[in-house]
Chain A
């Protein structure tokens, strides 16, 4: 079955430190890849997406992600974390099934310490 793995349930980062959130997907062909962020009790906001081309994509709020086909990964990064980045982050994959559906990882909760 197609799946998306976010191996870290929680991550704590000091404010100003760098961040990397991991995401691996199970399918061999190149899917469409997304990172979303969710604040408590809110909907999801798209941070960035990858469809094709340059494997390093830039998103909003200073986030970037790199697609690595050989590792089936799409890790999210930020050079310097701000306290307002504390939220839950979801990696999602469109496996090009033709039905425009997304498969989500279980999420990584980011905690930012002062």
Chain B
């Protein structure tokens, strides 16, 4: 089955530790995205990548880093510089902006709790 997987579903870390969230897709999508969701805030874009080895900052990139070494994978690292990292993180993917539309497909999310 084609889809997006995120692991783990729940993640606990101590304050000051870096943590990496996994996102893998087998939809042959070019573009991938990371969103942060907080209660009552909707989804806010952290980083996105249109193509392998290239990515751009979204609206709230501070304290986060990403890599895009493979088309299928777009891991997100939450660094110790992120002041309030506890949140629900969603990964998404889509075909590239070269198409006439952009329908994003979402993974099941990872809930990160920093203690």
Contact, CB under 8 Å: B109 / A41: yes
On A, residues with C-beta under 8 Å from B are 9, 32, 34, 36, 41-46, 49, 51, 90, 92, 94, 98-102, 104-107
A42, B4: Cα distance in complex, Å: 13
Residues of A contacting B31 with CB < 8 Å? 100
* Interface contacts beyond A41-B88, A42-B108, A100-B31: sample of 17 additional A-B pairs, CB < 8 Å, sorted by A: A9-B40, A43-B4, A43-B6, A43-B106, A44-B43, A46-B105, A51-B100, A90-B42, A90-B43, A94-B102, A98-B97, A101-B48, A102-B45, A102-B102, A104-B35, A106-B40, A107-B40
- A-B CB contact pairs (8 Å), 8 listed: A43-B107, A43-B109, A44-B92, A46-B105, A51-B100, A92-B43, A104-B44, A106-B40
Residues of B contacting A32 with CB < 8 Å? 101-102
On B, residues with C-beta under 8 Å from A are 4, 6, 31, 33, 35, 40-45, 48, 50, 56, 58, 88, 90, 92, 94, 96-97, 100-109, 111
* A49-B58 in contact given A9-B40, A99-B97, A106-B40 (Cβ < 8 Å): no
Contact, CB under 8 Å: A49 / B42: no
* A100-B107 in contact given A9-B40, A32-B101 (Cβ < 8 Å): no
Contact, CB under 8 Å: A106 / B50: no
A9, B41: Cα distance in complex, Å: 10
Residues of B contacting A43 with CB < 8 Å? 4, 6, 90, 106-109
The number of A-B residue pairs with CB atoms under 8 Å apart is 65
User: Chain B interface mostly helix, strand, loop or mixed?
Assistant: strand
CB distance from B60 to the nearest CB of A (A): 13
A64, B50: Cα distance in complex, Å: 30
Contact, CB under 8 Å: A104 / B109: no
Contact, CB under 8 Å: A100 / B56: no
Contact, CB under 8 Å: A100 / B96: yes
Contact, CB under 8 Å: A100 / B50: yes
Residues of A contacting B101 with CB < 8 Å? 32, 49, 51, 94
CB distance from A8 to the nearest CB of B (A): 12
Contact, CB under 8 Å: A42 / B109: yes
Residues of B contacting A106 with CB < 8 Å? 40-42
